[in-house]
Amino acid sequence: MREMVGTKLVLFDIDGTILYTGGAGRRAMRRSLLEVYGSTGPIKGFPFSGKTDPQIIIELMTLAGYALNLIEERMERFWDIYVEYLREEMTRAHKLKVYPGVMELVAALHSHNGTVLGLVTGNIQRGARLKLEPVGLNQYFPVGAFGDDSADRNQLPRIAVQRAGQQFGRDFRGREVIIVGDTTADISCARHFGAKVVVAATGMISYEELEKAKPDALFRDFSDYRKVMEEILE
């Protein structure tokens, strides 16, 4: 355990921010939908970015004509099957890549006494851990909030902050919390909590579109990780 407790809580999104799974997540989702609901809905080209896993399933299966109660009834079973397919797809994820500067940024924040790290991601917790495992990043993120905590991303920062409070014995407030993401949904959930938000245009959302949503700091990518760290700590 570190001796000094950080005064800032930095909460990372996963897909599009830390890494790209090379489509493993989408393939696992497609296979599980077919198995559990018998349909993928209009999944081809359907935007996943910024959405929570349950939100993706509800949206796709609603478009496929299923009633919400039926979608929700099968969701627990869906997660079990999805985790198995994701595990399998991740072993085949040859195109898995961590975006430039992310490893360095995470390591630097981790060793900095003023910060503690966590996750705010739309992935269910087991999915998040499976995606981070091959790149050795789980160890840096002891707490987080996940898609299985709420389908509504705006609720996730509050949940992550509560858990970090229990873990680190400190009550993180407002702009002591920094969301790091790649979509306008990351910016919205940060605003909903009153957190600061730093984004990179590494995912599916363009630099220009992100700029319109007015994050506190915007980068093409995190390759200049010292500059990113300055923005986070400022």
Binding residues (CB under 5 A) for Mg ion: these are 13, 15-16, 182
Rounded Cα distance, 214 and 199, in Å: 10
Residue 205 CB, shortest distance to Mg ion, in Å, is: 9
The residue number whose beta carbon is nearest to Mg ion equals: 16
Residue 6 per-residue DSSP state: P
Residue with Cβ nearer Mg ion (80 or 209): 209
Residue with Cβ nearer Mg ion (115 or 121): 121
Asked whether 142 and 118 are in contact (CB, 8 A), the reply is yes
Which residue matches tokens 């949206």? Answer: 59
Residue 98 CB, shortest distance to Mg ion, in Å, is: 14
Could you write out the DSSP letters of every residue in 68-116? Answer: HHHHHHTHHHHHHHHHHHHHHHHHT-TT-EEPTTHHHHHHHHHH-TTEE
Q: Which residues are registered as beta bridge partners of 144?
A: 119
Residue 123 CB, shortest distance to Mg ion, in Å, is: 9
Residue with Cβ nearer Mg ion (13 or 89): 13
Could you write out the DSSP letters of every residue in 151-200? Answer: S-GGGHHHHHHHHHHHHHT----GGGEEEEESSHHHHHHHHHHT-EEEEE
Residue with Cβ nearer Mg ion (100 or 165): 100
Q: Which of 169, 123, 119 is nearest to 24 (CA)?
A: 123
Residue 203 CB, shortest distance to Mg ion, in Å, is: 5
Residue 204 CB, shortest distance to Mg ion, in Å, is: 8
Residue with Cβ nearer Mg ion (89 or 182): 182
